Structure 1
Amino acid sequence: MLQEEGVFVDDLSNVEANKKIVIKGAAEHNLKQVDLAIPKNKLVVFTGLSGSGKSSLAFDTLCAEGQRRYMQSLSSYARQFLGQIPKPKVDSIEGLSPTISIDQKTTNHNPRSTVGTVTEIYDYMRVLFSRISIPHCPICLEEVGRQSAEQIVDAILDHGGEVQILSPLAREKKGTFEGLFEDLNSKGFVRVEVDGKYFRTDDPPTLKKQEKHTIYALIDQISLSSQERSRLTDSVETALELSGGSVVARFLEGEGREDEFFSEKVSCPNGHSFDLDMEPRSFSFNSPLGACPSCGGLGTKEEMDLKSVIKDPSLSLDQGAIDPWNHQITDHSEQL
């Protein structure tokens, strides 16, 4: 009989090994031919009386077999320095991943001590995530990445049709931007889009300083074809240089239009840019690049609980509004 998440089933073949760890005939120490299916990617707790076999199943069976299989995957040269791990008394274990274990008696009061640092897998995980992870935008959850000018040109040409090349100079920013319009006009840029409307750079709109504005400089408008690649490349490079690494391709289709954002910096399709390079330090809570700016990488914050300090807001300071002062009245409290 097999117990699967509290339900007994007879057919072991119905249990998918990629979703569960399947144990058959565990007999280590005081275990009596235990058959069990443990779900993966979930928090599983073994409970029971002292001596019921919790540690025998978790440490001496599961963890020991996981470490033994890992040892077998190493070269014979490496195994000679590590010794042999005996096989636990169990008929079979399927779906078992590499294991790590922490004894419940292990105590460390250092706030920077975690499961990763105690088991020494933290540095390996940082390298793994920095090399193969796919970052996503924390604002819109879209995948982020960077593109070269050549990749941007290829993507625009693949779309085809008629396109406007725009250089995003301000996105939801406050200001009058008088100097920006003058600079564009002096550089030879004729048209600019401000909050969805086109204006000439020699006759720009008067903007309110306290309102947010979105400003695009119109670089070019092209009917795409393979013959226009050189012109498109020049326009894209001009837009990237003007904006500092970003370009918007506006595809014109009949009465409608579709904007697509491209960037040489790490950014998402919706234009959220990030000054971020994926490296191991980005995943370290001991580095300013990876640490939470709020807690500094500690995972906790110390804040004052005003309800504990001021028990009764209706009282004055002299009447004892601040509770800690009531335990020892000093000259300082009377002066305050």
Structure 2
Amino acid sequence: MPKDKLIIKGAREHNLKNIDLELPRDKFIVFTGLSGSGKSSLAFDTIYAEGQRRYVESLSAYARQFLGQMRKPDVDYIEGLSPAISIDQKTTSKNPRSTVGTVTEIYDYLRLLYARIGIPHCPKCGKEIKKQSVDQMVDKIMELKERTKIQILAPVVRGRKGEHTKLLENIKKNGFVRIRIDGETYDLNEEIHLEKNNKHNIEVVIDRIIIKKGIESRLTDSIETALKLSEGLVIVNIIDGEEILFSENFACPDCGISIGELSPRMFSFNSPYGKCPECDGLGSLMEISPDYIIPDTSLSINEGAVVPWGTLKEDSWTNSVVTALAKYYG
């Protein structure tokens, strides 16, 4: 089979006139012409149909019985053909969230592809992000300067609204003494009241340790406790210093940057987990231009300097508000 080109001989499907054609592989190719000239007959009814038929024939007999027999297109032969994918032609949409990917429905397949075979990398250092074992976490912590004071924290709530009364009670029942809420440390014997409508971060203080030789076993136990409590995350808070976030899921061992396991929603611009926080997943930002609002700065407000307002009438509500503001501010 030729590796660099697709060879078509004797294509006669529909209105094709026994054509012979050679097409380069791994290239972007466009068929153009008048309506009825055979573009779709060649691309969809010949090349795609034969590629799909050959792929189905390569499947097991059990799988083929559910797909049925596929008709061979009217062509002498095609060489260099790989399994083919066809994308439907659909009407366009003016929705800003409608893209080439969503209209053709290839977007969903791409999200699945990236989620399954994607390899995440640290945005800071560029290294591959992998799951971290408890031993790796311990080794990283032990690299801290001797006599460094740290806290091992288990993040049980991250950016979630609520009073979390039952959670705090359960943490206390499990024998934990201290907790950190929104950066402030509390004793669980205190009365803790959280604002119901505010988002909170709650971390259980698992242990307080001074870095020195021989603490590896204690450190391991504390990390394992934190991981179980927080479903795979642990925060190492260096007293009067930075914090390091570890994950037994996916995290950079050098920078401490941790992410969740790859999922299709991470690659969706319609999901809060995947969309850009700046443009909200639209790919563009709408901003107000002062030059369009006040194109002629030599005019007064009453003369129509503010274009959206136009020329203010004396008895208009807008004019009364502007006049009152002018009197108030001088």
TM-score, structure 2 length as denominator?
A: 0.56
User: Aligned partner of 1:284: which letter?
Assistant: S
For residues 302 and 146 of structure 1, the distance between their equivalents in structure 2, rounded to whole angstroms, comes to 40
> Post-superposition shift, 1:143?
1.4
Unaligned runs of 5+ in 1: 1-11, 157-162, 171-178, 180-185, 190-218, 222-230, 249-260
Q: Which residue is 1:62 aligned to?
A: 47
For residues 65 and 328 of structure 1, the distance between their equivalents in structure 2, rounded to whole angstroms, comes to 71
Q: Which residue is 1:34 aligned to?
A: 20
For residues 268 and 236 of structure 2, the distance between their equivalents in structure 1, rounded to whole angstroms, comes to 29
User: After superposition, what is the alpha-carbon deviation per residue over 1:149-197, rounded to whole angstroms, capped at 9, x for unaligned?
Assistant: 23456x88xxxxxx84457979xxxxxxxx9xxxxxx9573xxxxxxxx
1:63 touches 1:99 (CA, 8 Å); kept in 2?
Answer: yes
1:136 touches 1:144 (CA, 8 Å); kept in 2?
Answer: yes
Q: Kindly tell me: are residues 23 and 188 of structure 1, through their superposed partners in 2, closer, same or farther at Cα, counting changes over 3 Å? A: closer
For residues 26 and 232 of structure 1, the distance between their equivalents in structure 2, rounded to whole angstroms, comes to 77
Match of 1:234 among 217, 232, 239: 217
1:149 touches 1:264 (CA, 8 Å); kept in 2?
Answer: no
Q: Kindly tell me: are residues 333 and 117 of structure 1, through their superposed partners in 2, closer, same or farther at Cα, counting changes over 3 Å? A: same
User: After superposition, what is the alpha-carbon deviation per residue over 1:100-133, rounded to whole angstroms, capped at 9, x for unaligned?
Assistant: 2222x53344444455555555555444433332
User: Aligned partner of 1:290: which letter?
Assistant: G
User: Aligned partner of 1:96: which letter?
Assistant: S
1:71 matches 2:56:
yes
> Post-superposition shift, 1:237?
3.3
Q: Which residue is 1:86 aligned to?
A: 71
Q: Kindly tell me: are residues 150 and 269 of structure 1, through their superposed partners in 2, closer, same or farther at Cα, counting changes over 3 Å? A: closer
2:111 touches 2:268 (CA, 8 Å); kept in 1?
Answer: yes
User: Aligned partner of 1:308: which letter?
Assistant: Y
SS at match of 2:308: helix
1:271 matches 2:255:
yes
% identical aligned pairs: 42
User: After superposition, what is the alpha-carbon deviation per residue over 1:30-53, rounded to whole angstroms, capped at 9, x for unaligned?
Assistant: 35533233442x644333444444
Q: Which residue is 1:135 aligned to?
A: 120
1:134 touches 1:143 (CA, 8 Å); kept in 2?
Answer: yes
Unaligned runs of 5+ in 2: 152-184, 186-206, 227-232, 239-243, 323-330
1:267 touches 1:273 (CA, 8 Å); kept in 2?
Answer: yes
For residues 10 and 294 of structure 2, the distance between their equivalents in structure 1, rounded to whole angstroms, comes to 59
SS at match of 1:234: helix
For residues 138 and 36 of structure 1, the distance between their equivalents in structure 2, rounded to whole angstroms, comes to 44
2:302 touches 2:311 (CA, 8 Å); kept in 1?
Answer: no
Q: Kindly tell me: are residues 277 and 168 of structure 1, through their superposed partners in 2, closer, same or farther at Cα, counting changes over 3 Å? A: farther
Q: Which residue is 2:88 aligned to?
A: 102
User: Aligned partner of 1:293: which letter?
Assistant: P
Q: Which residue is 1:292 aligned to?
A: 276
Q: Which residue is 1:149 aligned to?
A: 134
Q: Kindly tell me: are residues 287 and 310 of structure 1, through their superposed partners in 2, closer, same or farther at Cα, counting changes over 3 Å? A: same
> Post-superposition shift, 1:271?
0.5
> Post-superposition shift, 1:148?
1.1
TM-score, structure 1 length as denominator?
A: 0.55
> Post-superposition shift, 1:99?
0.6
Q: Kindly tell me: are residues 110 and 267 of structure 1, through their superposed partners in 2, closer, same or farther at Cα, counting changes over 3 Å? A: same
For residues 215 and 10 of structure 2, the distance between their equivalents in structure 1, rounded to whole angstroms, comes to 68
May I ask how many residue pairs the two structures share in their alignment? 248
> Post-superposition shift, 1:66?
3.0
1:71 touches 1:79 (CA, 8 Å); kept in 2?
Answer: yes
User: Aligned partner of 2:212: which letter?
Assistant: D
Q: Which residue is 1:175 aligned to?
A: none
User: Aligned partner of 1:149: which letter?
Assistant: V
For residues 59 and 308 of structure 2, the distance between their equivalents in structure 1, rounded to whole angstroms, comes to 62
For residues 26 and 137 of structure 1, the distance between their equivalents in structure 2, rounded to whole angstroms, comes to 52
SS at match of 2:123: coil
1:220 matches 2:225:
no
1:24 matches 2:24:
no
1:152 touches 1:262 (CA, 8 Å); kept in 2?
Answer: no
For residues 32 and 314 of structure 1, the distance between their equivalents in structure 2, rounded to whole angstroms, comes to 73
Q: Kindly tell me: are residues 138 and 164 of structure 1, through their superposed partners in 2, closer, same or farther at Cα, counting changes over 3 Å? A: closer
For residues 57 and 103 of structure 2, the distance between their equivalents in structure 1, rounded to whole angstroms, comes to 24
1:136 touches 1:142 (CA, 8 Å); kept in 2?
Answer: yes
